[in-house]
Each structure stands twice: as C-alpha cells, then as structure tokens.
Amino acid sequence: MTAATAGTRPARRKAKVRIGDRVFATTTIVAGSLILATLAAVAIFLVIQSIPALVAGAGELPNEAANFWQYVWPLVFGTVWAAFLALLFATPLSIGIALFITHYAPRRVSQTLGYIIDLLAAVPSVVFGLWGIATLAPFVQPFYQWLGDHLGWFPLFAPPVSGTGRTILTAAIVLAVMVIPIMTAICREVFLQAPRLHEEAALALGATRWEMVKMAVLPFARSGIVSAIMLGLGRALGETFAVAMVLSPAFLVKLAVLQPQNPNTIAANIALQFPEATGVSVNALVASGLVLFAVTLLVNILARWIIARRAAFSGANG
Amino acid sequence: MTVTTAPAPARSIRVTNTLASGRLPRGTAWMVLGGSWLFSVAFFALLAVAGATEGFTIVGAVFAGTILFDVVLYALSRIVEGARRALDRLVTSLVSTAFIIALLPLISLVWTVLVGGMARLDLSFFTQSMRNVVGEGGGALHAIAGTLLITLMTALISVPVGLLTSIYLVEYGRGPLAKAITFLVDVMTGIPSIVAGLFTFALFALILGPAVRNGFMGAVALSVLMIPVVVRSSEEILRLVPNELREASYALGVPKWLTILRIVLPTSLAGIVTGVMLAIARVIGETAPLLLVTGFTFSMNYNLFEDRMMTLPVFVYTQYTQAAGVSAQASIERAWTAALTLILIVMALNLIGRLIAKIFAPKRGL
C-alpha cells in the first residue's frame, strides 16, 4: 500500500494562530482604516458646518452677498487666477531646474543641487509671506510701475498701479517659489526614468544634447510633467499665508494683476476673516473651505491617477 | 650610442583640427557668464551711484546679467557654430538660468531673515513672553513652548498611526483596502493646511461649542497633515528591508509580529526616524490651522487642553500684522527674529534627520 492513498493521510494540521499576530495585524488595519475615516470625517464635518451658510439668504452673509454662490464666486476666481499665474512661472522654471539637475549639471554635484532646491520647501509659509511683503513687493514695484506706464493698454497691466507692489502678481510669484520644489522633485524623478538607451542612441546618431532631450526625454516624461503641474496646482490653490500677507485684498472679480485692489483667495480669506468671524460668517468660511477642499481633492486625485497609470513610479513625494 | 633629437621643425603652417573647428573654444560659456555678470553689476552700480535707482540690488544685477549671458552666448554660438549648436547652447544656458533664478529667492530670503532677525536675537527673546509687554522688549518664550508642546503632541498622534499604517501597507496589505489607503494617503498629502484647520474646528465645535480653542486641537489639525507624510516615508523605508531577513526569521520559527518588531523595524529605524524628522519639519512651520484652532495669546500656557496657545508661526504673523503705533518697529523686529528662530529649528530638524539617515544607515553586507 502506498502512502499516497488519500484515506490514510492524517488531516492537515492548521497553523497555530498566535494572539500576538492577531492583535498586531488588527492594530495595523485599524491604523490604516483610521486614515480613510479621517478623510471621510473631514468631508462630513465640513459639510455639517457649511449647511447654515448654504441655506442662508440675502442679508445674512458677509460682503452683502445674496446667496452663498455669490459670496464664494469671487474667492474661487481669485484662488484659481492666483494659482494659474503661479504655475505660469513655476512650470517652465521647474522643468528647467529638473533638466539642469538630471541632464546638465555634473553628476557629482547634482544631488547637492537637488538638496538646495529642497531647502526651499523647508521654509515655512509664514516666512515666505514676510519675505513677500518686506523684500519682494518693494523690489518688483518699480517694474510694475514701468509695465503700467508702458503696457497699460494691455488689459492685464491696466493702471492704476499699486504703490506698494502688494498685488496678485506678487502673490503669484511667491506661490511659484513655494511650489517649485515639489514640481521639480517629480519632474526630476520622471526625467531620470527616461530610458538610458534611447538617450544614448540619440547622442550616437549625432543629436546635440537638446535634441536628445527633446526626442528621448520629454516625450517619455510628458505625463509625469502633467501630474507635476497638477500637484503644484493643488499646492498653490491651498496655500494660505503667503497670499494672506502679501495680497491687499478686495471683494471683486478682476483680471488686472497690477492694481491695488485684488481678488482674494479662499484660503487667505479664511485666514484673515476667521479670527473675527461670528455666526453665519463662520459657516460661510467653512463652506468656502469645503469648496477649496473639493477642488484640491479633485486636482490631486487627477494628478495621482495620471501618476498611477504609469507603472513603476515610486515615491515622488518622499 | 646617443640619440640626438632633432630640433622641432619651425614651420609656420597651422594645421586646423577638424574636430574642433567651427566650435567655440572651451570655457567660452564661463567667460561670457562672468563677463555678463561683471557688466551687469557695473551697470547697476553706476545706476545706483547716479541715483537713478534707490539703492543697489545685487539680485537684480545677477538676474539681468544672467539674461544677458543667454543672449550673448546664443549670438556668439549662432555666428561660429551654426543654428543647431546655438540652439543647444541656448537651452543649456536657459536651463542653468532657471536654476539660478530659483536660487535667487532662496538667497534673498535667507539674507533678509538673517538681517532682520539679528536685531532681537538676544537672551530676553528666549526667556520672556509677551505678557504685559507694550512696546519694546518681550520675547517669544510662550510661542516657542507652545510650538514644542503642540509639535510633540502631533508627533505622539501621527507617528504610531503613520507607522502602523505603513506596516500594514508593506507587511499585510493586499487587495482593495491597501490600494485605497495608498491612493488616499497620496491624496491626503495634498489637503490644504487651512482645510485641516477648518476640519478640526468643525469637529470640536460640534462637541465643545464654536468658541473653543486649545493646543490639542492644533495637534489634531497638524496630525491630519503629518500622518500621510509619515506613512509615505516609512513605507518607502520598510520596503527597502531585504526579504531574506524576514524569511530567515520565519525559518527560525519566529512569529510574524515579532519578526516585524524585532527584525524589520530595527533594520529600518534610522530611515524611519529621518522620515519622522522631515515630517515634523514640514508641519512645525504650518500657520493656517494653528491660527484657526489654537488662536493666539500673549501669556505662557503649558496646558494643551485648555485655553489658547501661542505658536511660533502665529507669533510671526500676529507680531507683523499687529505692528502699529510708536512701537511698530519693535514688533516687526520680534516677528523677524521669530521667523529666524523658526527657520533655524526647521533647518536643524532637516539636518539632524539627514545625519541620522547617513550615520545609522544599515550596513549592506556583501
């Protein structure tokens, strides 16, 4: 009789379940689920606190708004406009910096250069705000004056020019400086992943370095660049104090970037109004925060989705 | 036998090197760069001396000089080397310019904060609070204490949750829950800090009423921002631990949870500590949520669970924005010194974090 006969085989012993294993595994799952719960809680509690503002009628909301959407629209406009201007500066710069670090700078120093750019990310936003008021605004004001005097016919540069330089353009410059590190980090990562053999093939065929970058690196990195822009956008939309301190705000919708009255952003408006707000005003601020949350969540999900579509993309935010 | 070397023939015909012809000589770029910077600095200095501009700005001079360099180098290269190489040189110089432009704000910022912050960097700034201080004097002790306490509390909440989550993702997580957590952690890193503040306000307002402000709320708000950062960094580090170590441990009959506690965590400890340091450095400078939920005060407060609490970022903000009257200058100086202190703390945390990573990195056996 062979041992392979099914009937005589002893029942398979089950692995012993250890208490420690159970407890530990459950704890980690709870911790992980806590994150999901937190995100859900953020949404739920913001909605609960926003309801009074959403149903509020004319006369209850600040800034003489007839309803909540009328109240939030100029803020949404200011937020998007400032972030857009910031990305206008930051996108070419961070692509350039990332290219410089990955493909142009000598290998030995490139990591150090990366650290230096990361230092920018370490500066607290309130310090950026301080720097924006004290150094940047006076520095750029003469340029604004010149722009207003000579290019005033162009709608964006329409006079009157701000005498302090604390305009939405200055805020956008500060925002650009603040989002450059994260955008650079992601661009660097994708540029480094460009297939080495393609690059060498291009060079071997006699391409100059720029032609190599244009043909082998940039097409490969396109989706990475797009997601870097989206993540930068997410940061720029939510940045608070750099804008709150630099901007001299008003409650309006306007494209001109050099004037003393500028559309405020949601985050800056919350920071400025919240300490003194009472009653429905608080709910209105929370509701505007909810709008900001929804917008940034959407932008971030889109960005992460674009990244996730690329296989083997790791640790862009580490 | 002696070998006599013939004297080199003195011919005047110069052979052109075909490989180097039509190229700019080596080092041209650097010379052009130096030249344009010199020219631009001289130009701006002249303007300043002549009184056309108010004061000499080195940042503007360097910026203009760099732009000049791009243009001159392109023109030179276009003449000598032709369109393709000229374009290559233009891009090279533009890319370097982008880097320099990014450096300018950093240098300018560090310089401004250093100059502004030196004025009050004295003993009384670190030993006094702002209680009953009108005008000059006073310090940020209450803000420093508040920042340290709130950050400590934040770390106490975020590190266990973040670390356990990353252990789940690396050691246990399979299937949709792990995928969802990974995705949402990434999304959470993008939550605006002010939204985290509003969330905490909304949460505590429902429980304790809308007027409540205390340090613990600040810690909760900062945790929302810090947990995802901790998860991301520790997850990356835990994935670096070689599987052979885990398998060796299992083979010896060690249960999984002890393997994680005794093998995986000690191996990656240095990296985890580094990640935590960097995460703390990121949240310690957050202003918006703290202004909303911890408020501000002028007095010392060591109790996280009661009353408003001052923190350094909020101190910078309030001192600067509430500067008014005859003592405005004193207030602004305090703001700058607090900003300098904040930057120093953040830099120190960053530096310590990177040093730990470097010194205690696990030695890779051969």
The residue with tokens 């503002």 is: A53
B107 shares a domain with B162:
no
B256 shares a domain with B157:
yes
- Whole-angstrom distance, CA of residue A2 vs CA of residue A227: 63
User: Over 80: is that where the pLDDT of B214 sits?
Assistant: yes
Cβ neighbours of B183 (radius 10 Å): 14
B231 shares a domain with B169:
yes
Q: Residue A35: inside a domain, yes or no? A: no
Binary contact (B257, A24; C-beta < 8 A) = yes
Nearest CB neighbour to A32, from listed B169, B190, B288:
B169
Query: How close, in Å, is residue A66 to chain B by CA atoms?
Result: 24
pLDDT band at B6 (very low <50, low <70, confident <90, very high): low
Please report residues of A whose CB lies closer than 8 A to that of B112.
Answer: 131, 134-135
Instruction: Provide the number of structural domains found in chain A.
Output: 1
Cβ neighbours of A298 (radius 10 Å): 13
**Domain assignment of residue A292, given as a range:** 72-309
Q: What confidence score (pLDDT) does residue B325 get?
A: 75
B33 shares a domain with B173:
no
Query: How close, in Å, is residue B128 to chain A by CA atoms?
Result: 22
Q: What confidence score (pLDDT) does residue A313 get?
A: 44
Terminal CA-to-CA distance of chain B, rounded, Å? 57
CA separation, residue B88 to residues A213, B24, B64 (Å) = 10, 13, 21
- Whole-angstrom distance, CA of residue B19 vs CA of residue B21: 6
User: Over 70: is that where the pLDDT of B9 sits?
Assistant: no
Tokens at residue B212, please? 């409540």
Instruction: Provide the number of structural domains found in chain B.
Output: 2
Which residues, other chains included, contact B256 with Cβ-Cβ below 8 Å and sequence gap of 6+? A21, A24, A25, B171, B250
The last residue of a domain, from among B118, B153, B187: B118
Please report residues of A whose CB lies closer than 8 A to that of B59.
Answer: 139
Nearest CB neighbour to A289, from listed B165, B195, B203:
B195
Q: What confidence score (pLDDT) does residue A223 get?
A: 83
Q: What confidence score (pLDDT) does residue B322 get?
A: 81
Which residues, other chains included, contact B352 with Cβ-Cβ below 8 Å and sequence gap of 6+? B277
Q: Residue A8: inside a domain, yes or no? A: no
Q: CATH number, domain at A89? A: 1.10.3720.10
Binary contact (A126, B165; C-beta < 8 A) = no
- Going by DSSP bridges, is the β-strand pair A249-250/A262-263 parallel, antiparallel, or unpaired? parallel
Q: Residue A57: inside a domain, yes or no? A: no
B235 shares a domain with B159:
yes
The last residue of a domain, from among B53, B84, B118: B118
Q: What confidence score (pLDDT) does residue A10 get?
A: 63
Q: Using DSSP, state whether B90 is helix, strand or coil.
A: helix
Nearest CB neighbour to A48, from listed B186, B206, B255:
B206
Q: Using DSSP, state whether A263 is helix, strand or coil.
A: strand
Binary contact (B103, A116; C-beta < 8 A) = yes
ipTM greater than 0.85: no
Q: Residue A4: inside a domain, yes or no? A: no
Residue in chain A nearest B88 by alpha carbon: A210
B35 shares a domain with B101:
yes
B98 shares a domain with B33:
yes
Query: How close, in Å, is residue A153 to chain B by CA atoms?
Result: 25
User: Over 60: is that where the pLDDT of B332 sits?
Assistant: yes
Please report residues of A whose CB lies closer than 8 A to that of B342.
Answer: 124, 126-127
B204 shares a domain with B74:
no
Cβ neighbours of B313 (radius 10 Å): 27
Binary contact (A127, B343; C-beta < 8 A) = yes
Q: Residue B23: inside a domain, yes or no? A: no
User: Over 60: is that where the pLDDT of B365 sits?
Assistant: no
The gap from C-alpha A178 to its chain's centroid, in whole angstroms, comes to 9
B160 shares a domain with B81:
no
Please report residues of B whose CB lies closer than 8 A to that of A122.
Answer: 281-282, 285, 346-347, 350
**Which residue type, as a one-letter code, is found at position B278?**
L
B212 shares a domain with B103:
no
Q: Using DSSP, state whether A249 is helix, strand or coil.
A: strand
- List alpha helices for chain A, DSSP H: 19-54, 68-99, 107-122, 125-131, 137-151, 168-193, 196-204, 209-212, 218-238, 241-246, 266-273, 280-309
Nearest CB neighbour to B198, from listed A92, A289, A317:
A289
Binary contact (A18, B255; C-beta < 8 A) = yes
Binary contact (A139, B60; C-beta < 8 A) = yes
Query: How close, in Å, is residue A64 to chain B by CA atoms?
Result: 23
Tokens at residue B99, please? 């880097």
Please report residues of B whose CB lies closer than 8 A to that of A209.
Answer: 88, 91-92
Query: How close, in Å, is residue A106 to chain B by CA atoms?
Result: 12
Q: Residue B10: inside a domain, yes or no? A: no
From its phi and psi, is residue B241 left (phi > 0), alpha (psi between -120 and 50) or beta?
beta
Q: CATH number, domain at B326? A: 1.10.3720.10
**Domain assignment of residue B272, given as a range:** 141-359
Q: What confidence score (pLDDT) does residue A14 get?
A: 72
Query: How close, in Å, is residue A67 to chain B by CA atoms?
Result: 21
Q: Residue A154: inside a domain, yes or no? A: yes
Tokens at residue B58, please? 């080195």
Q: Greater confidence, B231 or A189?
A: B231
Query: How close, in Å, is residue B329 to chain A by CA atoms?
Result: 13
Q: Residue B324: inside a domain, yes or no? A: yes
Residue in chain B nearest A105 by alpha carbon: B96
- Residue of B47, B70, B95, B342 to mutate for A, most A C-beta atoms under 10 A: B95
Q: Residue A88: inside a domain, yes or no? A: yes
Q: Residue A272: inside a domain, yes or no? A: yes
The residue with tokens 């130096």 is: B34
The residue with tokens 């961070």 is: A94
Please report residues of B whose CB lies closer than 8 A to that of A42.
Answer: 191, 195-196, 199, 224
Angle B323-B129-B310 from CA coordinates, rounded to 5°: 75
Nearest CB neighbour to B190, from listed A119, A296, A318:
A296
| Per-residue pLDDT tens digits of chain A, which is 318 residues long | 444 444 556 667 777 778 888 899 999 999 999 988 998 998 899 998 888 888 877 777 777 777 888 888 999 999 999 999 999 999 999 999 999 999 888 888 888 888 888 888 888 889 999 999 988 888 888 888 888 888 888 888 887 888 888 889 999 999 999 999 989 988 998 898 888 898 999 999 989 899 999 988 888 888 888 888 988 998 899 888 888 888 888 887 888 888 888 888 899 999 888 888 888 888 889 999 999 999 998 888 888 788 777 644 433 333
B73 shares a domain with B198:
no
**Which residue type, as a one-letter code, is found at position A188?**
R
B224 shares a domain with B95:
no
Q: Using DSSP, state whether A182 is helix, strand or coil.
A: helix
Binary contact (B236, A315; C-beta < 8 A) = yes
Binary contact (A99, B95; C-beta < 8 A) = yes
